[in-house]
A and B are shown apart, each in its own frame.
Chain A
C-alpha cells in the first residue's frame, strides 16, 4: 500500500505539497475531537503560502492498493491550528474532521 499526501489551495486548486513529487515525511493521528497531520518539510515560500491560506486548504491522504480501489481521505481544517516549527522543520495541520471516500463509488 502506498500513501500520498497532498495539500492544495481549496479555491484555486493549486498544489502546495505533493509527497509523490517531494521528499516529505508525514503522519496523521486522532487529536482531541479531530485529527493532526504532521509533515516534515523544509521552510520555503510554499510554507509561507500555506500559513497565509490556512483557512482555505484541502488536505488529502490517498491510499493506493495493489488489489483494491484507491481510498481517499480528505481533512476539513476549519478552525484547526496550522503552524510551522522552523527548528524541527515540522508543519502541523489540525483538522476538525475528515471524510473517507472511494471515487469509484460515484457514477461517471
Chain B
C-alpha cells in the first residue's frame, strides 16, 4: 500500500531567510493527519539564506539527520563539535538526554539546501552524540547507497534506531529494485527528477509512504535523485 503526498499539497514556510517544505507537522504548520510515519517525525526540505541559520537551541530523545544537498552547513554543539559539511556528507545527532546546538549556512553567498530528518530513537535517555560521515557521491549512480544506518560502516553514519537511509541517482529509464524485510515500512522522497513506483509517478519533492510491500522497483522516468528510508 502506498500513500502518495504530492509536492503541490505540501506546506511552505517562508521566513525570508528560511524556506522550508515540511512533509509532516512542524513549527507553524500543524496537521493532525500528518504527524509522522513509522518512527519518522520530521522531514523538512530546507533552503537557508547565506550566513543565516538556527541559533542555539536544545533537543532531546530524537535522532536528527541532516543531509546537505547544496551549499555548506556549519554545526556547533555543547559537546564540543564544530563541523562544516557539504554535499557528499551527512551528519547525525543523537539528542538523547539533551544537546544544545546551532546549524548555520557557512557560506556568504551560496544558498544551503538540506534535508532535515527526525526519528524517534529506540531508547530514550541515552548519552547525546554527534557524527559526520562522508560518502563517495559517484557511488550514488544507479545504486542505492546507505548513508545512515544502524549497521554503520566507514562511509555510513550510525543511528540509534532500526533503520537505513539510502540515497540514489538514477539515469532515465533505469530501474532499481529494493527488497524489504517482513513488516518494514518504506519512505521515498524525490529530491530531483521523476520516478515511478507501484503504478505512480513521483516528481520532485513528492513523498511516498509505503507499507506491506516486500519488493519495490523504482524506475527513473527522468534522471532522478531520491532518498529511500527503510523503517521499522
Contacts and interface: CB of A to CB of B under 8 A. Distances in A.
Interface of A: 10-14, 55-56, 58, 72, 74, 76-79, 96-97, 99, 101, 103, 105-108
A105 B56 CA distance: 9
Q: Which 9 pairs show the lowest CB-CB distances between chains A and B? A: A74-B58, A103-B56, A76-B98, A106-B56, A106-B102, A101-B100, A13-B27, A78-B125, A76-B60
B19 interface: no
A11 B56 contact: no
B209 interface: no
Given A76-B97, A108-B55, A10 B125 contact: no
B24 to A, nearest CB: 9
A82 B53 CA distance: 33
Contacts of A72: 56
A108 B56 CA distance: 9
A74 B98 contact: yes
Contacts of B125: 78-79, 96
B187 interface: no
Nearest to A77: B60
Interface size for chain B: under 10, 10 to 19, 20 to 34, or 35 or more residues? 20 to 34
Given A58-B58, A108-B55, A11 B41 contact: yes
B225 interface: no
Contacts of B124: 55, 78-79
22 contacts: A11-B26, A12-B25, A13-B27, A55-B124, A58-B58, A76-B60, A76-B98, A77-B60, A78-B60, A78-B61, A78-B125, A79-B124, A96-B125, A97-B97, A97-B98, A99-B98, A99-B100, A101-B78, A106-B102, A107-B74, A107-B76, A108-B55
Interface string B92-127: 000001101010100000000000001000001100
B153 interface: no
Per DSSP, chain A at the interface is loop
B59 interface: yes
Contacts of A13: 26-27
B162 interface: no
A13 B13 CA distance: 14
Given A99-B98, A108-B53, A11 B58 contact: no
A77 B97 CA distance: 9
A55 B61 CA distance: 9
A14 B41 contact: no
